[in-house]
């Protein structure tokens, strides 16, 4: 059986990907420093799938640790999720972001090459596209970022391309995620941000369960269907399956690629609120406020490259996203009380 090392594998996207990989016959090994996740994710996954998952509590900037993992397991593929991801925080603490995200990518690549591991999937982001591109993002569009977090993704992609260029054995796919939301329908894993959520769906989830009073809608004067911002929300289980597809692709193909992972459809803030209310039969109070600085009006993926190369496309719809997000948040609250 092929073994996949997931850096940052106890996090939101990593944990869902671990599950999808196990369901597709892969074995997984996880390394995470738990800066933004909890170790009990591992035992929940183990219990749910009746498997054992080797877990290393440590930092993937630690070369000795990664070398040890590669010596203890015959890893075929690395999926590198580990990283800090809060845009606003990255503006206040740029050095922490560059230090963590860039060094992690460099250390992962260095230790992979040293241990002759030649397949890498990297968590990139739609944030690498320059602002003034057409709203439908295509992989060949010009790149450029507006915050240190985005630049760490931009630079990591470049570091990966340069390393592939220098070492012809290395093959890599950077997946540019659009807006991952939702949770596994079982309710055993999901997104649980620390502090006040920055992103729309976790905020709606917390309003729905009474943690927050109302949603602040950042602007209703954009040139969009109803004036509110439009994004390409993708169910985290579809995103997880995209990593399975990328891993399988790397088993049979060579190269260094960047691929958008989205649904190809835009949804406005108010459309999301309405869908959440309808599906879960719950009211989400909101107030219209000023635009959030740095926000784009519309941003969605051209998702055809993922389908052409990986044979992957999103299967779940907005209703699935809203139902599973609420189910997860509801269970989370219930288990706390």
CA nearest to 292, candidates 221, 223, 204 = 221
Q: By CB under 6 A, tell whether 111 contacts ligand NAD.
A: no
3-state DSSP helix/strand/coil % of the chain, to nearest 5: 45, 20, 35
Q: Which of residues 107-126 bind ligand UD1 (CB under 6 A)?
A: 125-126
Please name the helix (run of DSSP H) or strand (run of DSSP E) that holds residue 267, with its range, or none. strand 267-268
Q: Does 216 bind ligand UD1 (CB under 6 A)?
A: yes
Q: Are 181 and 321 in contact (CB under 8 A)?
A: yes
Tokens 């944990």 belong to residue? 15
Contacts of 330 by beta carbon, 8 Å cutoff, 6+ apart: 187, 208, 209
Q: Which is nearer to ligand NAD, 123 or 228 (CB)?
A: 123
Taking CB under 6 A as the criterion, the residue among 14, 190, 229, 264 binding ligand NAD is 14
Instruction: Exactly one of 149, 233, 249, 300 is catalytic; name it.
Output: 149
Site pattern 59..98 for ligand UD1 (x: CB under 6 A): ----------------------------x-----------
Cβ 198 to ligand UD1, closest distance in Å? 5
Question: Which parts of the chain fold into alpha helices (H)?
Answer: 12-23, 40-49, 63-72, 87-92, 94-97, 103-114, 148-166, 200-208, 236-252, 269-280, 304-305, 318-336
Is residue 231 at the binding interface for ligand UD1, with CB under 6 A as the rule?
Answer: yes
With CB cut-offs between 5 and 8 Å by kind, which of ligand UD1, ligand NAD, none does residue 32 bind?
ligand NAD
Complex with ligand UD1: residue 68 or 216, whichever CB lies closer:
216
Residue 66 or 164: the one with the smaller Cβ distance to ligand NAD is: 66
- HSE of 70 in the Cβ direction (CA atoms, 13 Å)? 22
Interface map 154-193 toward ligand UD1 (x if CB under 6 A): -------------------------x--------------
Neighbouring residues of 305: CB distance < 8 A, sequence distance ≥ 6: 139, 259, 260
Query: At closest approach, how far in Å is the CB of 221 from ligand NAD?
Result: 25
Among the listed ranges 133-141, 237-245, 291-299, 321-329, the one in contact with ligand UD1 (CB under 6 A) is 291-299
Residue 35 binds ligand NAD, judged by CB under 6 A: yes
Q: Considering CB distances under 5 to 8 angstroms, the limit depending on partner class, which of ligand NAD, ligand UD1, none binds residue 12?
A: ligand NAD
Residue 300 near residue 230, CB atoms below 8 Å: yes
Distance of CA 158 to the CA centre of its chain: 19
Residue 117 has which token pair? Answer: 């591991």
The answer to whether the CB of 131 falls within 8 A of the CB of 146 is yes
List, in order, residues 6 or more apart from 289 with CB less than 8 Å away.
216, 217, 218, 219
Beta pairing, strands 267-268 & 230-231: antiparallel
Q: What is the dihedral of CA 178, 9, 66, 73, to 10 degrees?
A: -120
Residue closer to ligand NAD by CB (options 34, 130) is 34
Binding of residue 199 to ligand UD1 (CB under 6 A) = yes
Tokens 């939702």 map to which residue?
Answer: 182
Options 269, 275, 303, 321; binder of ligand UD1; rule CB under 6 A: 269
**Which is closer to ligand NAD, CB of 67 or CB of 220?**
67
* Binding-site partner at residue 138 among ligand NAD, ligand UD1, none, CB < 5 to 8 Å by type: none
* Whether residue 214 lies in the annotated active site: no
Give the binding site for ligand NAD (CB under 6 A). Answer: 7-8, 10-14, 32-37, 59-61, 81-85, 100, 104, 123, 125, 177, 180
Give the binding site for ligand UD1 (CB under 6 A). Answer: 87, 125-127, 179, 198-200, 203, 215-218, 229, 231, 269, 292, 294-295
Catalytic residue set: 149
């Amino acid at each position: 059986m092929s073994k996949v090392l997931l850096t940052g594998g106890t996090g939101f996207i990593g944990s869902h990907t671990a599950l999808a990989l196990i369901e597709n016959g892969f074995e997984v090994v996880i390394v995470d420093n738990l800066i933004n996740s909890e170790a009990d994710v591992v035992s929940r996954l183990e219990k749910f799938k009746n498997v054992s998952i080797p877990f290393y509590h440590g930092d993937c900037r630690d070369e000795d640790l990664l070398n040890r993992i590669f010596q203890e397991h015959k890893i075929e593929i690395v999926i590198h999720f580990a990283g800090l991801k809060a845009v606003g925080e990255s503006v206040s603490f740029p050095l922490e972001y560059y230090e963590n995200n860039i060094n992690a990518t460099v250390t992962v690549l260095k230790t992979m090459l040293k241990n002759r591991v030649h397949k890498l999937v990297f968590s990139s982001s739609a944030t690498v596209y320059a602002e003034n591109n057409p709203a439908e993002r295509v992989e060949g569009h010009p790149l450029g970022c507006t915050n240190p977090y985005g630049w760490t993704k931009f630079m990591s992609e470049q570091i990966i391309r340069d390393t592939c260029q220098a070492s012809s054995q290395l093959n890599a796919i950077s997946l540019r995620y659009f807006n991952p939301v939702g949770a596994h329908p079982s309710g055993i894993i999901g997104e649980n941000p620390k502090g006040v959520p920055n992103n729309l769906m976790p905020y709606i989830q917390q309003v729905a369960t009474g943690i927050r009073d109302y949603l602040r809608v950042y602007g209703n004067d954009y040139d969009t269907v109803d004036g509110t911002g439009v994004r390409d929300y993708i169910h985290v289980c579809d995103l997880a399956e995209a990593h399975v597809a990328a891993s399988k692709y790397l088993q049979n193909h060579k190269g260094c690629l960047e691929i958008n992972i989205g649904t190809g459809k835009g949804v406005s803030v108010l459309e999301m609120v309405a869908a959440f209310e309808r599906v879960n039969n719950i009211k989400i109070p909101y107030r219209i406020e000023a635009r959030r600085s740095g926000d784009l009006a519309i941003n969605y993926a051209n998702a055809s490259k993922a389908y052409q190369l990986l044979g992957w496309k999103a299967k779940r719809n907005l209703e699935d996203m809203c139902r599973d997000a609420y189910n997860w948040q509801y269970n989370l609250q219930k288990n706390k009380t």
